Amino acid sequence: MKILHINSYDGSGGAARAALRLNEALKIQGIQSELIVNYKYGNDPEIKTFSDSKLSKLYSLFLIGLEQVLTKLQIKNIKVPFSIPFIGKSIEHHPAVQNADILHLHWTNQGFLTVSSLKKLLASGKPVVWTFHDSYAFTGGCHVRYTCENYKQECGNCPVVKNAHANDVSHRFWKKKQEVYSQYRFSIVTPSNWLGRAVKSSSLLSDFSLNVIPNAINAELFRPLDKKEARKLLGLPEDKFIMLSGFMPSKVDKHKGTSYLAEAIEILADQIDHEKIELVIFGNKTGAELIDFKLKASYLGTISNDELLTVVYSAADVFLTTTLEDNLPNTVMESLSCGTPVVSFITGGVPDMVKHRENGYLAIYKSAEDFAKGITWVMDHENKSTLNHQARETVLANFSLEVVAKKHIELYRTLI
């Protein structure tokens, strides 16, 4: 059986990493699997692209930029990811699509697949699996829903778009999806139970076939390394409690909850000797706004090498994420795989991975006080080696390449 994974990009985005890992996992199990992307940033010869000439690559860049501009004209200036696919590509006649037995869609936005493009793929008659990495497929355009529940009835009067009303742009795109979904069927995969519950409560997809299958991770690559050696390589002190966090956008960023991390660190700084603790951050972009934390913070910048990333996770005593809504964050899984416990809010798919007071700490949602308490719990844990071991075992039992690949293969076999 030939599986074709389709994604907007290669690179370091969450959906791209998930698609790459699943493709790798399936090939290890002897399945003919291939990944093709709309726009290819990297040089991996194993990854194919729909934009394989200079002209087609320029056209793809144009469509990506055009969608971003047209979307910005329609939505308010707020930090909510939103896509309005006015224009995109039809790929149903591409040889890779024609030769596949099963089409497996991942993240397909930003000048790539419109609702009409999706309809043409579904009309081809090939079985389609679609892994939802966010909420876009069952909303009028938002990738992150927060507290909005319009998707349970029908989108419209959208809190994100300008000039919101019953028949606004979110409702019109919701209607387009409804028309296609009423004619064709595909199999849905959600990496988390949280997103699966949202799909089942949506008006568009509640009666579709749904499988909850987590993203995979290469646990042989993301593995625990000697902590002293890891810190030596990074130039970090051996005698401090090292807290690690990833991707620091603006302090007012709504999605990543950075302000709660700053507040939790401030609470912690008032309770603990600053000489005993340090915050390390990776994923910050050069020139991005840096937060003035109340204790020493080191910035490692963007890390695109997984081997180095493994060193970073292994050097830390705890990984911190204050994300306010996330499907199944790769950073949490990567940290656990490296034997580093995690402190997070109870949100999204994080509870599928972090078990409270077993391999980490789940803090009360948006409570900086409880988040700081979680850090202290890890710091004061009487048996850190057991905590590290439980973090690692969670990944081996549930998220390894072999475990996740076999679950997908079972699904594919029911479709052929």
pLDDT at 265: 93
Q: Residue range 276-298: average pLDDT?
A: 80
- Residues 262, 210 within the same domain: no
Same domain assignment for residues 384 and 406: no
Residues 150 and 185 in one domain: yes
- Judged against a pLDDT cut of 60, whether residue 227 lies above it is answered with yes
* 411 and 277 fall within a common domain: no
pLDDT of residue 354: 98
Q: Which two tokens stand for residue 147?
A: 């507290």
Alpha-carbon span 369 to 267, nearest angstrom: 7
* Residue 238 included in any domain: yes
Same domain, 175 and 304: no
**Whether pLDDT at 250 is above 60:** no
List, as one string, the DSSP characters of 247-296.
----TT-TTT-HHHHHHHHHHHHTTS-GGGEEEEEE-PPTTPPPP--SS-
Tens of pLDDT, residue by residue over 99-145, are 999 999 999 999 999 999 999 999 999 999 999 999 999 999 999 88
Asked whether residue 286 falls in the same domain as residue 386, the answer is yes
239: pLDDT strictly greater than 90? yes
In this predicted structure, the answer to whether residue 296 has a pLDDT above a threshold of 80 is yes
Residues 380-405, mean pLDDT to the nearest whole number: 96
Q: Mark whether 411 and 349 lie in a shared domain.
A: no
Is 327 a domain residue? Answer: yes
Inform me whether the pLDDT recorded for 255 exceeds 80: no
Q: What is the pLDDT of residue 289?
A: 63
Residues 174 and 263 in one domain: no
| Per-residue model confidence (pLDDT) at position 387 | 96
User: Same domain for 98 and 123?
Assistant: yes
Average pLDDT over the chain, rounded to whole? 93
* Mean pLDDT within 233-255: 80
**48 in Cβ contact with 100 (< 8 Å):** no
The pTM of the full predicted model, rounded to 2 decimals, is 0.89
Q: Residue 283 — pLDDT band, cuts 50, 70, 90? A: confident
Q: Would the pLDDT of 249 be above 60?
A: no
**What CA–CA distance (Å, rounded) separates 145 from 150?**
9
**What confidence tens digit (pLDDT) does each residue in 326-364 have?**
889 999 999 999 999 999 999 999 999 999 999 999 999
Work out how many domains the chain is built from and give that number.
2
Whether residue 350 lies inside any domain: the answer is: yes
- Does any domain span residue 211? yes
On whether residue 241 sits in a domain, the answer given is yes
Average pLDDT of the residues in 215-219? 95
Q: At 327, which CATH number?
A: 3.40.50.2000
Q: Is residue 156 part of a domain?
A: yes
Q: Which residues lie closer than 8 Å to 401 by C-beta, 6 or more apart?
A: 21, 24, 25, 28, 216, 217, 218, 219
Among residues 41, 46, 40, 39, which one has the least CA distance to residue 23? 46
Contact 20, 396 (CB under 8 A): no
CB-based contacts of 21-26 (< 8 A; 24+ apart in sequence):
21/215, 21/216, 21/217, 21/218, 21/401, 22/104, 22/215, 22/216, 22/404, 22/405, 22/408, 24/218, 24/401, 25/216, 25/401, 25/402, 25/404, 25/405, 25/408, 26/405, 26/408, 26/409
- pLDDT given for residue 253 in this prediction: 54
Q: What is the CATH number of the domain that holds 103?
A: 3.40.50.11930
As a whole number, mean pLDDT of residues 315-330 equals 93
Report yes or no on 323 lying in a domain.
yes
| pLDDT-derived band at 77, boundaries 50, 70, 90 | confident
Closest CA to 408 of 152, 92, 113, 190: 190
Q: Kindly indicate the confidence band of residue 185, based on its pLDDT and cuts at 50, 70 and 90.
A: very high
> 135 and 162 in one domain?
yes
Q: Check whether residue 237 and residue 207 sit in a common domain.
A: no
Answer whether residue 222 is part of any domain: no
Residue 83: pLDDT band (50, 70, 90) is very high
Task: Answer yes or no: do 242 and 383 share one domain.
Answer: yes
Higher-pLDDT residue of 259 and 399 is 399
In angstroms, the Cα distances linking 136 to 72, 139, 156, 382, 396 are 17, 5, 14, 43, 30
Lowest mean pLDDT: which of 71-75, 206-210, 356-360?
Answer: 71-75
| Domain of residue 390, residue span | 227-398
Owner of token pair 């309005």: 84
Q: Is the pLDDT of residue 156 over 70?
A: yes
Q: Which residues contact 18 (CB under 8 A, 6 or more apart)?
A: 106, 131, 133, 191, 215, 216, 330
